[in-house]
Amino acid sequence: MKNDSMRQIADALLEAQSIDILTHIMMDGDAIGSAVALCLALRKAGKRADVIIEDDIAEYLEFLDYGCTKSVDEAEGGADVCVILDCSVRSRFRERERIFDSAAKKICVDHHETKEPIADLHYIDPSSAATGELVYLLLKEMGAEIDKDIASCLFAAIATDTGNFMYSNTSKRSHEIVSELYDTGFDAYSVSMQLYENEPYRKIALHGKVVAGAEMIEGGRIVMAKVSRKMLEESGADFEDTEGIVSILRSIKGVEAAALVKEKKPEEIKVSLRSKEYVDVAKVGSQFDGGGHKRAAGCTIRTDLDTAYEQIKEALRKEICRG
């Protein structure tokens, strides 16, 4: 798929008076950070801009809202431009499709591998560690002034999607952008504290329970764990509290691939997949209509928890033998 230029996207935004910004459901730090950063910059330029959401913001990311989010029920749609960030598939913004479709012009900026164009203008860069990096480049192209709040959002976006500058996607550019964000005088320590040192006890208790029940397979090269509704209830935890468990699993010595199989609702099983060096988990995810990156992917399987678990185990085993 051919990209349009950042210049064309910047011009389309500068010409617009009203902009609706979307990102994927189950927002992570990159999704909300990118969306709110762009929203703040557009509002500063005197435009009507909102981030339209269809599900709740995870508690640990609520501080990144900056008054920018609006629920889909309150949104009118029909904006001059609708921008979709960190997402390029309709299945991840289903309840907001009318907002997207009713906009005069549609723009997609993302770093997920994608084949099907969904907008009028695209900037898709899978080599970018975070959509936050692309939003930074876009703001520069627009001549927007990056203030402390915008810097906090972009820092959160880049820090979370690079696993605190540890994942293989982290590049010189990631550090260069962050180093420029420091020039705004934003408080990186405070953002990091809110992101990483602010966990509710119930979440850590859930993590302990799930990790204790993990299964090591293929000589310890694969680790898998499951989260049932019952385990959530017993820990008093929410589904969102499963965030981060799969990274703990992957961090185990000798593990190449990790899978966390989570029962969101009966017959709605969410799977998070991670790998370290050679297993392409995006391939595994895509076998179940999901996707993502080589080292981090996911999918939804519509069956019961145990069946989904076995299906993922089989798929990962095949993939690790190929690798």
> Residue numbers of the site for Mn ion (CB under 5 A)?
30, 86, 131, 161
| Minimum distance from residue 169 beta carbon to Mn ion (Å) | 9
| Minimum distance from residue 130 beta carbon to Mn ion (Å) | 5
**Residue 47 or 274 with smaller CB distance to Mn ion:** 274
Place of tokens 């939003």: 135
| Minimum distance from residue 232 beta carbon to Mn ion (Å) | 25
Alpha helices in the chain (DSSP H): 6-15, 29-44, 97-101, 131-142, 148-161, 172-182, 188-196, 201-212, 229-235, 245-250, 281-286, 305-322
Closest C-alpha among 221, 228, 223 to residue 321: 221
**Residue 109 or 237 with smaller CB distance to Mn ion:** 109
Closest C-alpha among 27, 66, 68 to residue 157: 27
**Token pair of 110, please?**
């993302």
| Minimum distance from residue 46 beta carbon to Mn ion (Å) | 28
| Minimum distance from residue 92 beta carbon to Mn ion (Å) | 12
Distance separating alpha carbons of residues 170 and 242, to the nearest angstrom: 24
**Residue 112 or 250 with smaller CB distance to Mn ion:** 112
| Minimum distance from residue 131 beta carbon to Mn ion (Å) | 5
| Minimum distance from residue 85 beta carbon to Mn ion (Å) | 9
| Amino acid code (one letter) for 226 | K
Q: How far is CA 102 from CA 97, 194, 281, 288, in A?
A: 8, 36, 35, 30
Estimate to the nearest angstrom the gap between the alpha carbon of 260 and the chain centroid: 16
Tell me the Cα Rg of the chain. 19
**Residue 50 or 86 with smaller CB distance to Mn ion:** 86
| Minimum distance from residue 290 beta carbon to Mn ion (Å) | 15
**Residue 53 or 224 with smaller CB distance to Mn ion:** 53
**Residue 88 or 131 with smaller CB distance to Mn ion:** 131
What is the full DSSP assignment across 238-303? -GGGGTTHHHHHHTSTT--EEEEEEEEETTEEEEEEEESSS--HHHHHHTTT-EE-SSEEEEEE-S
**Residue 20 or 161 with smaller CB distance to Mn ion:** 161
**Residue 158 or 269 with smaller CB distance to Mn ion:** 158
Distance separating alpha carbons of residues 194 and 105, to the nearest angstrom: 36
In this chain, which residue has its C-beta nearest to Mn ion?
A: 30
